[in-house]
Structure 1
Amino acid sequence: MQTFKGRLLALALASAALLSVGQGALALDPDAQVNPDAGPLELFSFGFKAYQRGEKLEAFEALRYAADKGHPGARWKLGKMYAEGDGVPENDYEAFKIFEQIVRDQDDETGNYSNAAYVASAVVALADYLRLGIANSPVTVDLPRARQFYFHAASFFGDAKAQFELGRMLLNGEGGRANPRQAARWLNLAAEKGHVGAEALLGYLLFDGKTISLRPEPVRGLAMLTMALKDAGASDQQWIRPLQEETFSVASEDVRRQAQAYVDQQVLPAAGAVVSAKN
């Protein structure tokens, strides 16, 4: 039976070109007071404090030294900085390579270890990139592998974002056969962790139950959508609002009243037939 590390390594090897993390970085800042001979933890701490002060180039240099010495938090932060153009020029391919390195270098068989959060985030980031591809790079759209990456992060790490994205892919048949019932189970797990997107989409599916072949739960569905809309950020509200307005428009007055009562109390009615997937 393939081990946990073996599964993640196989995913990483199949995703795209495997290149080293340290290449293509910015030139060293001669004025930065970074001691490259310091230990990885000291360098990470130095970089973290510099980042908090807004000294991002100095932070980058310290984090890069720490990453070269194997500090997983430093590697992860470098990947995020490249992905977001935070203090460095945005470079999704550099971010991809760093996240890939994090996945390849982890050595635990169960996922229950101190670096699990970094590895989980890296796996999800790789899935995101494989889902959309990276322009002008060897990383092309690969929906089946994106779905596989999300599954690993969702199942081994219980990552809420991965559970949500896996649910969406299963619902829409992206990267493989559609399975609405399984989609609902993964969305339910993510919603239980407070993921507003999962809460909204699951609420929409539960409202009439047809798509996921379950009995309708209109009160629960409308309450979930309304609570998700209330809690969501601006970007999520753009797609949640039309779903909430659609269900509200066809709901009976009694359903609206009951749903609003749950929203006012910030609680949900008891769950129906959605069966939780194993975490």
Structure 2
Amino acid sequence: MASPQSGAPGALRKSVPAAAANATTTTPSLTALQYAAEEGHPVAQFKLGRMYAAGDGVVRDDIRAFDYFSRIANAHAEDSPSAPQAQIVANAFVALGRYYLNGIPNSKVKADPDRAREMFSYAASYFGNADAQYDLARMYLKTADASRDDFRYGARWLGLAAQKGQHQAQALLGQMLFNGDRLPRQPARGLMWLTLARDSAGPDEAWIKESYNRAFAKASDDDRASALQMLESWVQGKRE
């Protein structure tokens, strides 16, 4: 895996727009949580970031969310991957990467795919975060004419994320294997991944269930039987 660059924390500090860095809230119900965040507690910062990103109990404010996620990334980029807060830090990098991927309208945070790739790559390689690995894979695989190296990197990250149980990665890998989309066709293995993804898909992820249904309808009896055997081996391996 790629090693994180030694200058990562300093480089990340540029991610916080000045206007966002001074953003505060005076909502009484958030006082304790914000106090902890201002004291530098990453759990509180992450909770506030998610609240503002989703508009959960507060008015949605992507700039404030971006600010909280940036504070975590700036302060904890070199924390040990085994530290208690490591996955929170990794998830903050993923959130920042997604903001950079699309930008925040009417703000200083513009779409910057290269910056997004940096964020995903750091969380994927240093922290081993499955969501980052999936997002990074999608960036490498996003075009049908991706270079051989890009496709190789993308397929590698996709496989790592799928093996860790990231259901969107499992669905995409399953589609590619079942259809022979730039990978050698393996319908049984593809159906196995799609089955795992279907079982974990949320109510707003109809594409995963539809992909499974299409594959299952097209699969031969032998492919279905082989997929079931692979699925049983997967489940058994997770239990052991």
CA offset at residue 261 of structure 1?
4.8
1:43 counterpart residue number: none
8 A contact 1:4–1:108 mirrored in 2:
no
Aligned residue-pair number? 233
Letter in 1 for 2:100: L
Q: Would the alpha carbon gap of residues 64 and 109 (structure 1) be closer, same or farther in structure 2, given more than 3 Å must change?
A: closer
Percent of aligned positions with the same letter in both sequences?
39
Structure 1: runs of 5+ lacking an equivalent:
30-56, 271-279
1:267 counterpart residue number: 234
2:23 counterpart residue number: 24
TM-score by length of 1: 0.73
8 A contact 1:131–1:141 mirrored in 2:
yes
CA distance in 1, matches of 2:8, 2:99: 19
Which of 240, 247, 250 is the matching residue for 2:208?
Answer: 240
Matched, 1:163 2:133: yes
Structure 2: runs of 5+ lacking an equivalent:
none
Tell me which moved more, 112-121 or 85-94. 112-121
1:47 counterpart residue number: none
| Structure label with greater radius of gyration | 1
CA offset at residue 112 of structure 1?
4.0
1:84 counterpart residue number: 54
2:111 counterpart residue number: 141
CA distance in 2, matches of 1:210, 1:76: 37
1:256 counterpart residue number: 224
2:151 counterpart residue number: 180
2:199 counterpart residue number: 230
2:63 counterpart residue number: 93
Higher helix share: 2
Q: Would the alpha carbon gap of residues 137 and 199 (structure 1) be closer, same or farther in structure 2, given more than 3 Å must change?
A: same
RMSD: 2.8
Tell me which moved more, 103-112 or 78-87. 103-112
2:8 counterpart residue number: 7
For residues 54-98 of structure 1, the C-alpha deviation after alignment (integer angstroms, 9 at most, x for no partner) is xxx1xx111111122222222121111111212221101111011
Which of 111, 126, 129 is the matching residue for 2:99?
Answer: 129
CA offset at residue 235 of structure 1?
1.7
Pairing of 1:38-53 with structure 2 (within 5 A): none
CA offset at residue 125 of structure 1?
0.5
TM-score by length of 2: 0.84
Letter in 2 for 1:218: P
For residues 93-142 of structure 1, the C-alpha deviation after alignment (integer angstroms, 9 at most, x for no partner) is 11101111111122636544333222211111100111121112111111
